[in-house]
């Protein structure tokens, strides 16, 4: 008996008399405490970093854009993300602008949303003068690679399998285009990618076609209703259909 199996390859003050002013100065100085400077603050417009994609399909890592204020003018500022650190110099007004790489969070592995934090440390001026302004607030961000995975890897073409995708456009519908022998056989809306990282998990028939032919089926996941090979972002996969002998 034979069967078909598929495998997914942010008041005016009065002037006091001079004598009175002189008499009051010591009391005022004694009553006013020293005011501590505020801790530096960093911000980012990015919430979840996702890869960009060239027309050729090549993925590119977007930079994480960081801005900050309240640092010691001209002092080195160390930005830390996990075990990775980068140093920038604060401008004359105490602000910073930096672009950090998150490439390591966007390659390898399956669909996911990886949390990470970024904080900045003011190291102060030479010899500690002016003194360091301390550590900034911590930014809590995420990163998601553009990828796809199906499980189980081996099942009948008509079986419902779990599709997991990440790194797509948040809030947009993800479509799956099934092609066999150069022709589009089906266009299926899988659902909307979640915010903020473009994730989707759904269960669908592995191949939504009656009596699919044996051989290699090609599937492209993107945001287009109809198949176009240059859609972006896009992820491609193949499904090998063969007859299993029992």
Question: Average per-residue pLDDT in the chain?
Answer: 87
Question: What is the predicted pLDDT for the residue at 214?
Answer: 96
Q: How far is CA 242 from CA 141, 179, 211, 236, 239, in A?
A: 44, 16, 12, 20, 10
38-143 shares its CATH topology with 147-245: yes
Q: How many CB atoms lie within 10 A of CB 99?
A: 11
User: What would the CATH number be for the domain defined by 38-143?
Assistant: 2.60.40
Q: Give the rounded percent of residues in the chain with a pLDDT score beyond 90.
A: 77
d(CA 202, CA 188): 12
Q: What is the Cα gyration radius of the chain?
A: 29
Please say if the pLDDT value at position 191 is more than 90: yes
Question: What is the predicted pLDDT for the residue at 174?
Answer: 98
Estimate to the nearest angstrom the gap between the alpha carbon of 238 and the chain centroid: 27
Q: How far is CA 15 from CA 18, 22, 143, in A?
A: 9, 12, 60
Average pLDDT of 6-33?
A: 41
Question: What is the predicted pLDDT for the residue at 5?
Answer: 59
Between 21-35, 86-100, 110-124, the lowest mean confidence (pLDDT) is in 21-35
Please say if the pLDDT value at position 27 is more than 50: no
The domain ranges of the chain are 38-143, 147-245
Topology at the third CATH level for domain 147-245: Immunoglobulin-like (2.60.40)
Alpha helices by DSSP H, listed for the chain, are 18-31
Between 39-48, 57-66, 128-137, 233-242, the lowest mean confidence (pLDDT) is in 128-137
pTM confidence score? 0.81
Residue with tokens 């990015």: 46
Reported as a single tens digit per residue, the pLDDT across 153-176 is 999 999 999 999 999 999 999 999
Element (H, E) at 217: strand 215-222
Estimate to the nearest angstrom the gap between the alpha carbon of 222 and the chain centroid: 18
d(CA 121, CA 39): 10
d(CA 228, CA 224): 8
Output DSSP code: residue 193.
Answer: P
Closest C-alpha among 163, 153, 216 to residue 188:
163
Question: Are 187 and 230 within 8 A, CB to CB?
Answer: no
Average pLDDT of 211-222?
A: 97
Please say if the pLDDT value at position 57 is more than 60: yes
Please say if the pLDDT value at position 36 is more than 90: no
């Amino acid at each position: 008996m034979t069967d078909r199996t598929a495998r997914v390859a942010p008041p005016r003050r009065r002037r006091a008399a001079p004598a009175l002013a002189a008499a009051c100065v010591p009391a005022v100085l004694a009553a006013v405490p020293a005011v501590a400077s505020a801790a530096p603050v960093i911000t980012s417009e990015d919430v979840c970093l996702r890869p960009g994609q060239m027309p050729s399909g090549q993925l590119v890592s977007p930079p994480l854009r960081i801005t900050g204020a309240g640092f010691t003018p001209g002092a080195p500022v160390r930005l830390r993300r996990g075990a990775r650190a980068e140093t920038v110099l604060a401008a004359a007004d105490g602000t910073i602008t930096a672009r950090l790489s998150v490439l390591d969070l966007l390659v390898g592995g399956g669909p996911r949303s990886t949390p990470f934090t970024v904080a900045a440390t003011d190291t102060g001026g030479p010899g500690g003068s002016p003194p360091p302004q301390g550590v900034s607030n911590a930014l809590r961000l995420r990163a998601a690679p553009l990828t796809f995975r199906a499980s189980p890897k081996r099942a009948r073409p008509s079986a419902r399998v779990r599709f997991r995708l990440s790194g797509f456009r948040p809030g947009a519908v993800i479509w799956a285009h099934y092609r066999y022998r150069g022709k589009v056989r089906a266009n299926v809306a899988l659902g909307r990618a979640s915010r903020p990282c473009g994730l989707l998990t759904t269960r669908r028939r592995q191949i939504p076609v009656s009596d699919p032919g044996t051989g290699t089926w090609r599937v492209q996941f993107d945001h287009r209703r109809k198949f176009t090979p240059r859609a972006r972002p896009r992820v491609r996969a193949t499904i090998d259909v063969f007859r299993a002998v029992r």
